[in-house]
């Protein structure tokens, strides 16, 4: 099985040791589960948003370093709203801003976090380009 070197804080390390006896055993369970959960969440989210709405969300996350403390629905709303205000992303992709914000407000923090991680990941992916954005939001 391939190995991954993840960074966790002391509290997370202690939690893994308490629940799984060792942090390695915990990581071997948690990481694949988190990846599977993320992809299931994204499959559901892609059914809730249109391709143009997803493009607005991806565009809003360009040059953003996502931090665990800010991965919440409130930050997603602020980021998308601010980027629409400053750069008219909703107009660029022909999206109703109010409708998009209403859809975002229906999400919970976990769904919003998955969407933010997915949107941010596009900008650091190997295939990041204007041509691949269409494929990214559709796949």
Tell me the pLDDT of the chain (139 aa) as tens digits: 677 777 888 998 899 889 998 888 888 899 899 999 999 999 999 999 999 999 999 999 998 888 888 889 999 999 999 999 999 999 999 999 999 999 999 999 999 999 999 999 999 887 777 668 888 888 6
* Residue 113 CB contacts under 8 Å (≥ 6 apart), including other chains: 71, 72
List C-alpha distances in Å: 130 to 16, 31, 58, 136: 41, 31, 11, 10
Residue 47 is encoded by which pair of tokens? 């059914």
Residue 54 is encoded by which pair of tokens? 């997803």
- Secondary structure letter of residue 94 according to DSSP: T
- pTM value is 0.86
Residue 20 is encoded by which pair of tokens? 């799984």
Contact by Cβ (8 Å): 83, 104: no
């Amino acid at each position: 099985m391939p190995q991954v070197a993840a960074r966790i804080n002391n509290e997370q390390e202690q939690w893994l040791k308490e629940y799984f006896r060792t942090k390695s055993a915990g990581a071997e369970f948690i990481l694949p589960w988190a990846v599977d959960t993320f992809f299931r969440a994204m499959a559901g989210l892609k059914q809730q948003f249109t391709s143009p709405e997803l493009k607005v969300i991806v565009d809003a996350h360009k040059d953003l370093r996502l931090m665990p403390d800010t991965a919440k629905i409130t930050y997603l709303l602020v980021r998308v709203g601010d980027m629409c205000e400053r750069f008219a992303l909703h107009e660029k992709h022909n999206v109703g801003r109010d409708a998009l914000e209403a859809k975002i407000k229906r999400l919970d923090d976990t769904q919003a976090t998955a969407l933010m991680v997915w949107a941010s990941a596009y900008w650091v992916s190997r295939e990041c380009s204007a041509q691949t954005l269409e494929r990214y939001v559709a796949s």
